[in-house]
Amino acid sequence: MKTLTLARTPSALSLLLPLGAAWLAAVPLAGLAAEAPAAAAKLAPLAFLAGHCWRGDMPGGKASDTHCFEWLYGGHYLRDRHVVCAPGRPDYEGETLYFYDHGRQQIAYIYYENAGGIGRGLALGEGGRLVFPEAEFVSASGGKLAYRATWQRIGDAAYEASNEIKRDGQWRSEFTMRLNKVAP
């Protein structure tokens, strides 16, 4: 069996720390929280969501869905944490991590939820609209569901989400809901 012997050299972290300090010194801090980090330019269609929470009532008003978005790692990723609350039922929670897929040259995402399911797909910016083309969600039990969605921006304070699922080869509307900007 081969073993790996590490040379006695400074760790990568100790080499990078001075670079990080130099970078931080060069970055103007005024307005950093409100503006998208420079690395986020490739995620620009999603930028209006960052730093805010958005809440909407599901059709029928029996449940609400709240999404909170935040930049991660200098804007290379955008996190969306969401929770669906319905009286008398356990909360349904999930998280989406949006990122620029350099291999595909597109915005991609991975979604995972508290029941163990995972979805992966793409997000396309089309003017004031986000389009999520057909993707697949796989539940923890292995069940598969094809879905697609659009999010239409409505000014600076709202967007409308429309989700569809594929059943028996046909696309059917699952729901349309307006999400309004709310305090975190």
pLDDT attached to residue 104: 95
Architecture of the domain defined by 34-182 = Beta Barrel (2.40)
Q: What is the pTM of this model?
A: 0.80
Question: What's the pLDDT tens digit per position in 92-101?
Answer: 999 999 999 9
Three-class DSSP category at 5? coil
Inter-residue contact 54 to 159 (CB < 8 Å): yes
pLDDT attached to residue 38: 79
Percent pLDDT > 70 in the chain is 80
Residue reference for tokens 């304070």: 157
Inter-residue contact 149 to 159 (CB < 8 Å): no
pLDDT attached to residue 35: 61
Name the CA dihedral angle for 83, 86, 92, 93, rounded to a multiple of 10 degrees. 10
